[in-house]
Amino acid sequence: MRILVTGGAGFLGSHLVDRLMEQGHEVLCLDNFFTGSKHNILKWMDSPYFEVIRHDITEPIRVEVDQIYHLACPASPVHYQYNPVKTVKTSVLGTLHMLGLAKRIKARLLLASTSEVYGDPDVHPQTEAYRGNVNPIGIRACYDEGKRIAETLCFDYHRQNNVDIRVMRIFNTYGPRMQENDGRVVSNFIVQALRGIPLTVYGDGQQTRSFCYVSDLIEGMMRLMNNEEHIGPVNIGNPNEYTILQLAQTIQRLINPDVEIQFEPLPQDDPQQRQPDITRAKDWLGWTPTIELEEGLKETIADFRDRLSLT
């Protein structure tokens, strides 16, 4: 198949590109390199079955493909809050353009949505039926509401124009190739521990997240894309839930027990807890995560060590 991956030079996108190329597909990677990097896709540059298009999805584009994995959007709070208006445009106009393309060329489109559509949830764990608790005027809204509208657009294009959609709600995912300056918790703690500087825990560290290793996530994503029965939304994430303090202590133990933990103010609207209910993913896709946190962290730490040349 010919497959378009928007955001293909990013963290998740580049892992997806690897899997698709290994399966023998022809892959078009579209990216504006805001948070993505050519290093992530370097190994495919010489392949005749791989193409990179430098393009901003807030502008329309015409290509001919069979499937569209639509991932382009900054995902770390630090990056999506850098230019919130641009984040909204990326989610809303970007998804509109990709759905318009999917409609015209009759391609299947998978949207990389997020657990952030649940906001600071008052239902725990979160099932796909839960409608969320998002502050529409807060500093996370550009991302959360942007993705909610992106989902709305998918379902409206599906009902109105028969566009073949798949919607996945991704929970916190980590792994090799996260950017050193990504700003998300796993990369921050690993980089800090490797450099021997204090781990910055925001608030009292009692807020929770559930961390999914990247290979598990990509497997779930591809199963949903190629499922003929279900369009979603489907939660994909690891249901093992940890407090942020537990995560800090684990990374401290794995890298440098002498490194300190430093408490800093909790950012506005930071969700208190997050854990996916993955019943749907199990029933519909036969998917469950396989990589435990410590195992995944070890792989991620090894990758950061290589890239930062730290021992």
Q: Which residues carry out catalysis?
A: 143
Closer residue to ligand NAD in complex, CB, 4/199: 4
Closer residue to ligand NAD in complex, CB, 7/205: 7
58 binds, among ligand UDP, ligand NAD, none (CB under 5 to 8 A by kind): ligand NAD
CB-count exposure of residue 264 (10 Å: 0-12, 13-18, 19+): exposed
Binding mask 22-61 for ligand UDP (x = CB under 6 A): ----------------------------------------
Question: How far is C-alpha 127 from the geometric centre of its chain's CA atoms?
Answer: 18
Q: Are 70 and 95 in contact (CB under 8 A)?
A: yes
Site for ligand UDP in 114-143 (CB under 6 A): none
C-alpha neighbours within 13 Å on the C-beta side of residue 60: 8
Q: What's the min distance (Å) between Cβ of 126 and ligand UDP?
A: 13
Q: Are 211 and 172 in contact (CB under 8 A)?
A: yes
Q: Decide: is 21 part of the binding site for ligand UDP (CB under 6 A).
A: no
Closer residue to ligand UDP in complex, CB, 81/227: 81
Q: What's the min distance (Å) between Cβ of 244 and ligand NAD?
A: 15
Q: What's the min distance (Å) between Cβ of 9 and ligand NAD?
A: 4
Alpha helices in the chain (DSSP H): 11-22, 77-80, 84-105, 141-161, 185-195, 214-225, 244-255, 279-285, 293-308
Question: How far is C-alpha 118 from the geometric centre of its chain's CA atoms?
Answer: 15
Fill in the DSSP letter of residue 126.
B
By the criterion CB under 6 A, which residues form the site for ligand NAD?
7, 9-13, 31-36, 56-58, 71-75, 90, 94, 112, 114, 170, 172-173
| DSSP secondary structure string for all residues of 171-204 | --EE-TT--TT--SHHHHHHHHHHHT--EEEETT
∠ CA 283-247-263, nearest 5°, is 135
What is the SS3 assignment for 147?
A: helix
Q: How far is CA 176 from CA 187, 190, 215, in A?
A: 9, 11, 10
Q: Decide: is 172 part of the binding site for ligand UDP (CB under 6 A).
A: yes
Site for ligand UDP in 235-264 (CB under 6 A): 244
| φ/ψ (deg, to 5) at 99 | -70, -35
250 binds, among ligand UDP, ligand NAD, none (CB under 5 to 8 A by kind): none
List the one residue from 35, 188, 275, 300 that touches ligand UDP (CB under 6 A): 188
d(C-alpha 5, C-alpha 22), whole Å: 15
Q: Decide: is 185 part of the binding site for ligand UDP (CB under 6 A).
A: yes
176 binds, among ligand UDP, ligand NAD, none (CB under 5 to 8 A by kind): none
d(C-alpha 47, C-alpha 89), whole Å: 32
201 binds, among ligand NAD, ligand UDP, none (CB under 5 to 8 A by kind): ligand UDP
Binding mask 264-283 for ligand UDP (x = CB under 6 A): ---x--x-------------
170 binds, among ligand UDP, ligand NAD, none (CB under 5 to 8 A by kind): ligand NAD
The residues binding ligand UDP (CB under 6 A) are 76-77, 172, 184-185, 188, 200-202, 207, 209, 244, 267, 270
